Amino acid sequence: SGINAEYGVALVGVTTSLICGVTGNTGTPSYVWYKVGQDTPVYTDPGTAATSTYTIADPQFANDGAYKCKVTMKVGDITNDGFDSATAELITFNFCAIITRTLR
């Protein structure tokens, strides 16, 4: 089984998502997202949705950083110890207009 994570670029105040995908899975996956360096999850799959998407409704600069997703698989009565995804990097920025003017 393979676990992939993508990177995200977010505009301050505009909803963004990080996605973790599992391939070659058998059973029911459950997903928990962590910001690297923190022990408390930033998102835990509610168990009924089995969604791998962590959505940040109003990203701010404090959301910048590396994230990882821990995936556990349940087959029957057995749940594995889980697998960590690759690290996904989120970069948040403010919109800025660059205006150029041709000088003659």
- Per-position DSSP letters for 78-92, written without gaps between them: EE---EEPPPEEEEE
Q: What is the pTM (predicted TM-score) of this model?
A: 0.72
pLDDT tens-digit series, residues 33-86: 999 999 999 988 876 666 788 888 888 888 888 888 888 877 777 777 777 777
62: phi then psi, degrees, rounded to nearest 5: -65, -20
Question: At residue 3, does pLDDT exceed 50?
Answer: no
13: phi then psi, degrees, rounded to nearest 5: 85, -5
The listed range with the strongest mean pLDDT (6-20, 52-66, 81-95) is: 52-66
